[in-house]
Amino acid sequence: MALEPCTEVPNQIKTDIPILKERGQREVFCGLTGIVWLHRKMQDAFFLVVGSRTCAHLVQSAAGVMIFAEPRFGTAILGERDLAGLADANEELDRIVDQLLERRPDIGTLFLVGSCPSEVIKLDLAKASERLNQRFFPKVRILNYSGSGIETTFTQGEDACLGSMVPVLPNSYEEPSLMIVGSLADVVEDQFQRLFEKLGIGPVYFFPPRRASKLPPVGKGTKLLLAQPFLSDTVRSLIARGATLLPSPYPFGIEGTTAWLKTAADAWHIDSSQFEQAIAPSVNRAKIALERYRQTLAGRKAFLFPDSQLEIPLARFLSRECGMELVEVGTPYIDRLLMESEINLLPVGTALSEGQDVEKQLDRCREAKPDITVCGLGLANPLEAEGMATKWSIELVFSPIHGYDQAADLAELFARPLERRRRLTV
């Protein structure tokens, strides 16, 4: 799942934005975290992590699950006998799946999720899912993907999950359709659906769907519009199925959402006046709501550590719509296919880095003294202790931040730490 890093700046990307390649110690969060938002999105899916007790504690802590809750994820614990090869892990897995499906007859799709421990003992979950599918399909479809945190950043868990679904998507037989790729909160999905209907664009499918059993079709008539920027493998798999990618900025903020919708409107040959009329009420509401936070953020300095892969679109939003100064924009890797439109919107002279050497980046951050630092959980508390205002990057993935009606909410997520720091230092 590792993506080959870019080795040069292509002609289509601004040549006045050099990219600093960082290759050193990294601060990464486990890809199992993606289960937290995916299990909420696909309401008939269950995620069975094949891992250790540490894996179970991680997912449970990230999801904030109460002891009396019965979520749609769990962990098949690999014990000492499994890790030592004294027990047949496949037999144990089959037994646990039998128990799970007997207890939860509402499950329509079961994901077997690999972890660092399962990969260490070389447990072949692809063969396991194939074997179990022969027993339970079509009542239950069983898929597998890796959520291991050894090589990936945490948002790639969603990429791996959606990628595992692409081979089983039905064929569309060249009928024109729009597929929105990337998980969205239901409220945001509904907002976008209403806008597409006003524009006369359709049929529109969302991937992942709310029910994993209702998979969207894909084929030569499918046009892809990405809602999330961390789906490199999924996008390439969909293109291999015949779909066409519509390159666009991402729908963060007013500008990003307008450009995103305009990309789809142009593909459907929607008249400009019809487009402006359809989006005008939403744009006007968003401008009024955003102005309050723009006054707080304008002129402030932001430093973004590489973590979620949302960094470049967020930096564009903070700079162009909130008036912030970008000290440095770090991202785990740059996929030219998915990021070109966003990089072209960054201000001239932006310090853009790919990869991580955490000690060097910390030194640059401390020297720059930014007003707010966007980073992972592992860095946030130490930097707060040094008197710096921080924003957890993982919170930006968990929160509904796409679209017009969420533009002010997105800005507030950055304004809130500044206000907290102000109160603490008064």
Q: Helix, strand, or coil here: 247?
A: coil
Strand ranges (E), 8-131: 19-23, 45-51, 73-77, 109-114
55 is in an annotated binding site: yes
Contact (CB, 8 A) for 9 and 126: no
116 is in an annotated binding site: yes
30 is in an annotated binding site: yes
**DSSP-derived pairing of the beta strands 390-392 and 372-375:** parallel
The Cα 361–Cα 353 span in angstroms is: 10
Q: How far is CA 18 from CA 7, 317, 333, 354, in A?
A: 12, 20, 14, 10
Amino acid at 199: L
- Structure tokens, 177: 């359709």
Q: Count CB neighbours of 422 within 10 A.
A: 11
Residues 6+ apart with CB under 8 A from 401: 252, 409, 410, 413
Contact (CB, 8 A) for 167 and 134: no
Q: Which is it for the CA torsion 67, 69, 73, 78, positive or negative?
A: positive
The Cα 218–Cα 177 span in angstroms is: 8
**Given 3-state DSSP classes, what are the helix, strand and coil percentages for the chain, each rounded to the nearest 5?**
45, 15, 35
**DSSP-derived pairing of the beta strands 301-304 and 325-331:** parallel
**Annotated binding-site residue numbers:** 30, 55, 116
User: What are the binding residues for [4Fe-4S] cluster?
Assistant: 30, 55, 116
